[in-house]
Structure 1
Amino acid sequence: MQARSWTPDPASALPLHRQISNYYMDKIRSGAWPPGMRLAPQRELCRQLGVNRSTVVTALGELSALGLIEGRRGGGTRVVDLRAAADGSVSYGDRTAASGSRADASGDRAVSTGDGTGMLPVQSAGSWNSYVEEGVHYPNLPTVQDINRLEYEQGLIRLGTGEPSPGLLPGEAMTRVLAELSRQTLPPLSYEEPLGSPGLRRAVSGELAKNGIQADPDSILITSGALQGLQLIAVGLLPRGSTILLEKPSYLYSIHAFQSAGVKFSGLPMDEHGLLTDRLAREACRTKAAMLYSIPSFHNPTGILMDAQRRQELMDVTGGLGLPILEDGAYQELWLDTPPPPPLKALDRDGRVLHLGTLSKSASPGLRIGWIVGPEPVVRRLADIKMQTDYGASSLSQLAAARWLEGGYHEEHLQRLRARLRQRRDAALALLQHHFAGLAAWNVPAGGFYIWLSLDKPVPLRTLFRAAHKAGLLLNTGDLYDRGDSRHLRLSYVYASTTELEHGLPLLAGLIRKLRQPGS
């Protein structure tokens, strides 16, 4: 993927196309852009570089004439293997092999073993392309890759971002925490215990008790955010080929932690009270499900709050099946009207529920602090895997998080945050009522970050995403959370300011109306 921070200098005496070709030439010859790497489409290059199409075409033409890139029908423009081009050997797929070697069906070369036993396939020297494409962890969805990149593009209004805006984060309070720590203790510069800092685990235990979860520190594993918890569970507890049940749509469809571990999904429908339990037992038996994943409090992406009765039904049905539950409690504390019912883990008497928590949604994404709560043998198993990957979350972050929780800062911040989120939610709902009446329906979230916008008529969501980006908006479309979706958007009221919402939501309504017009 090409670098996007560099742009040509219009004030330079060197023509724009020559600046571009020189820059690309340096990237290719230094190996930063390896053989086989695909360049972005010309339209995207124009946007990235801030130039017109004829400038891009001229620059690419110079690179092609030098033999540095080549176009392939249906395969875009790719970097050429310079060494292979020099000796006549292959770079990929459709080239012929060098003299004295043969190419296999994948486009790799084969060389003699030298001992008469045959030929060994090797890749073109210096080519990383097949490695990039063949790693065991799936790449992000193309739209997710676009979102991850575009979130750092200046000037975009981020209407779907699932994190608090910098203005909602407790910068001043965290500064006081860090100042206190600097005066009171030496910084922890060594590794922590496999389960994490004992002080932080005690602090998390105290926070969990406020929500009815009784967990001593030995039942808590500190992770580098809740996402790492998902990854540890995917590779550490579930065999390849197993199935987990989950709400559909679901946040899990937008990441590949489980799919990359060979785990399959089976989606279950929801209503306004949460996951429907009437099909749960039948689907669990049909798929031989290994686990149920659920976000009962302020579900991502729909914002649905599972009520107390549905939670108990869920516990009863899964209890009868002996089915473990993975409860994602990322939004549990972010209620706006009244506190939600107790977490599923608070209802757990059999040790069947693993509970995920995090500070990323409420206090600080940058701390990278989350936790898994579960039976001691389970958390020890996950801790062993974690020690093989990163040897523990940052000791400094754990120290700060412990002080944040123990010093009362967290509860004080939550009270202010809830009030500000309530104002933002109400402002977003008023704008929707004004601009989307007759165009869509939506939920009124009682907490969390999201409004699930349901369009009255389907639209091509990828086309809408591109049109919105061109208009200065960044969207999270429903097909990220349900591949077959064509009529939902996840709107967030926690990142874009009220002023940005006042500008962005009417603009979005206009784009949707235009796409619904015949022939558009």
Structure 2
Amino acid sequence: MKKPKYQIIIDFIKEKISKGEWAIGSQIPSQRHLAKMFGVNRSTIITALEELMADGLIEGIAGKGTVVTNNTWTLMGNHFSTNWNRNVTQGIHKPSVSTVQEINEAESDNRFIQLSKGELSPELFPLKEMQEIIQKVSNQLTPFGYEEPKGNRKLRQTISSYLKERGVRVSPPSILVVSGALQALHLISIGLLKEKSTVFLEEPSYLYSLSVFQSAGMDLDGLPMDNKGVKVDSIFQTKETGRNILYTIPTFHNPTGILMEESRREELMEYCIREQIPVIEDDVYRDLWMDNVPPEPLKARDRHGNVLYIGSLSKTLSPGLRIGWIVGPESVIDRLADLKMQLDYGSSTLSQLTAEMWLSSGMYEHHLENVRKQLRIRRKKAIDTLDKYLGFYATWDIPEGGFFIWIKINYSFKVKKLFEKALSKGIVINPGSIYKEQTGQFIRLSYGFASLDEIEKGIFELSEIIKNNKVELKY
């Protein structure tokens, strides 16, 4: 006899609890999430939860949702279980804000229209070429173990040549291979900065959606921007020399897409050198230009070792490779290499060999030509659709590169409500609040991942949400 749906849900939750996967003190998924998971309405979920509450397994707690209060062992006798929920809140590293966690979860669900993802669509993944390169790597493979602390020597030499073409002259000993740009930021935060240092950064900024620097005990100080980049005259040192650093994304900024102009780059470098403020330049979007080659990196102007330069293949080729790099003075790279060895003993050898062959074979540059062509098509689709459906409700600038359109929604509507409504309709967007945008009227829309049809459908649905929920979105 087929079990009723509410009983299937009860059995599922009991199994999770009995295995310790949902430990005592854990918050169980929301009713909305469970309803979507099992394809039922919320009344079925409520029936199941009420029975579990009657059994003494879960309890609704104000401000915390529904949490596990017992398991089968504690109910059977005088047994005590560790309440891991207490430990979850005591770790040194801060959790992501709840909205970011919600976005991360939705981005792993391929049923959603992903207008949030900052990565290339699977449609643009060079599968045939990747298979060819991996086959070549496999054919040339010899027994391998841990790489050098700074990374595979041949890859670092190839990165040196690659950067020279982009204006950055650096030798392999000044390059550290890392597992993506995020690891680079983590290494810098724990290895180079004093506690209570100040990190200057653009506001809004991608860094606000991360907790990497705050968890290391740093203060974030936002700097205003205009359409030329960060406003240099807004930087004020509030602490002694050695307790300030600037983090910037000058080329196709995340989330705004702004390209810092040449004169602003010169002004920024002059100021930071004069005031002895070291710079972290995040340049992972550089190769995604569509209209014109962008100005040279800040690092190309650096004659004093003042700039730590971060690059990556995650945005242009594949995030799955987990290959990026940091460029800086040798003493700094030595320090960060030692830290990386302590953390993971080096990035994957296979990934490093694959990345080296991509960069040295000429296939990477050929791939970039196709990516730029396809991004132009996607950008045009997004802009044309925005003009058609959202022109009355929002404004935006056309980006010259990268994935993102920074959209200002009419003040009549609250973006947080729009985000929630869109998510309930299967559309993921990034509200500006996760980047510490102060007005609460911006969203970041990505045209890099979703298909052309999904871009049009997603933007159309956003306009319909605004049209049909005007009263609700205002309050």
TM score, norm. by length of structure 2: 0.95
Instruction: Please state how far the C-alpha of 1:31 moved relative to its aligned partner.
Output: 1.1
| Structure with greater helix share of residues | 2
1:68 Cα deviation after fit: 1.2
Is the partner of 2:311 in helix, strand or coil?
strand
Indicate whether 1:157 and 2:113 are aligned.
Answer: yes
**Residue 195 of structure 2 corresponds to residue 195 of structure 1:** no
Structure ranking higher on relative contact order (CA contacts 8 Å, 6+ apart)? 2
- CA shift, 1:28, in A, is 0.9
How much does 1:251 deviate?
A: 0.2
* Equivalent residue for 2:47, pick from 44, 53, 58: 58
Q: Aligned-pair distance for 1:147?
A: 1.3
- Measured after TM superposition, the shift of residue 516 of structure 1 is 4.0
- The answer to whether structure 1 residue 509 and structure 2 residue 442 are counterparts is no
Q: Which residue of 2 is the match for residue 441 of structure 1? A: 395
Residue 407 (1) aligns with residue 396 (2): no
* Residue matched to 1:71: 60
Is contact 2:201–2:221 with CA below 8 Å preserved after alignment? yes
How far did 1:443 drift? 1.1
Unpaired segments ≥5 residues, structure 1: 1-11, 90-123
Q: Check if 1:140 corresponds to 2:102.
A: no
| Rounded Cα–Cα distance in structure 1 between residues aligned with 2:219 and 2:394 | 32
Residue in 1 that maps onto 2:219: 264
- 1:402 Cα deviation from its structure 2 partner: 0.6
Report Cα offsets for 1:294-352 as digits up to 9, x if no partner: 00000000000001000000001111101100000001111101100000000001000
Q: How far apart in 2 are the matches of 1:382 and 1:485?
A: 38
Using the TM superposition, give the Cα deviation of residue 254 of structure 1 relative to its aligned residue in structure 2, in angstroms. 0.6
In 2, are the aligned partners of 1:464 and 1:515 still within 8 Å (CA)? no
Is the counterpart of residue 128 in structure 1 residue 84 in structure 2? yes
Task: Give the residue type in structure 1 aligned to 2:337.
Answer: A
Distance in 1 (CA, whole Å) between partners of 2:6 and 2:240 is 57
| Contact 2:144–2:349 (CA under 8 A) maintained in structure 1 | yes
1:173 aligned onto 2:126: no
Matched-pair contact (CA < 8 Å) for 1:459–1:486: no
1:75 offset after TM fit, Å? 2.9
Report what 2:250 is aligned to.
Answer: 296
In 1: Cα distance, 2:154 partner to 2:143 partner: 12
Match of 1:341 in 2: 295
Looking at structure 2, the residues matched to 302 and 317 of structure 1 have their Cα atoms a distance apart, in angstroms, of 23
The equivalent position to 2:19 in structure 1, one of 2, 26, 30, is: 30
In the other structure, the counterpart of 1:468 is: 422
Q: Which residue of structure 2 lines up, in the alignment, with residue 19 of structure 1?
A: 8
Q: Provide the alpha-carbon RMSD of the alignment.
A: 1.8
CA distance in structure 1 between the aligned counterparts of 2:42 and 2:469, rounded to whole angstroms: 26
Deviations 1:14-64, CA, capped at 9 Å, x for gaps: 111111111211111121110001122323322222112232122112222
Query: Helix, strand or coil for the counterpart of 1:517?
Result: helix
Aligned match of 1:5: none
Which whole-Å CA distance do the structure 2 matches of 1:291 and 1:354 have between them?
Answer: 10
The correspondence for 2:271, drawn from 308, 313, 317, is 317
Q: Among residues 379, 382, 395, which one is paired with 1:425 in the alignment?
A: 379
Instruction: Name the TM-score, length of structure 1 as normaliser.
Output: 0.87
Aligned CA distance change for structure 1 residues 204 and 59 (closer, same or farther; 3 Å) = same
How many residues matched?
472
Q: Deviation per CA, 1:398-443, whole angstroms, max 9, x where unpaired?
A: 0011111111111111111111111111121111111122311111
- Structure 2 counterpart of 1:206, from 137, 142, 161: 161
Given candidates 272, 278, 299, the residue that maps to 2:233 is 278
**SS across alignment from 2:286:** coil
Instruction: Kindly state the Cα deviation for residue 503 of structure 1 after the two structures are TM-superposed.
Output: 1.2
Q: Using the alignment, how far apart are the partners of 1:449 and 1:188 within structure 2?
A: 39
- The SS at the match of 1:24 is helix
Shift of 1:88: 7.4
1:217 maps to 2:178: no
Partner Cα distance (1:458, 1:485) in 2: 12
Question: What is the DSSP-based 3-state SS (H/G/I as helix, E as strand, rest coil) of the residue aligned with 1:326?
Answer: strand
* Consecutive unaligned residues in structure 2, runs of 5 or more: none
1:218-254 CA-to-partner distances (Å, cap 9, x unmatched) read 0000000111001110111111111110000000001
Answering whether residue 239 of structure 2 is matched by residue 250 of structure 1, we say: no
In structure 1, C-alpha distance between the alignment counterparts of 2:470 and 2:231, rounded to whole Å: 32
1:481 aligns with 2:470: no
> Take 1:336 and 1:241, find their aligned partners in 2: how far apart are those partners?
40
C-alpha deviation, 1:458, in angstroms: 5.4
Larger radius of gyration: 1
Bigger shift: residues 259-268 or 75-84: 75-84
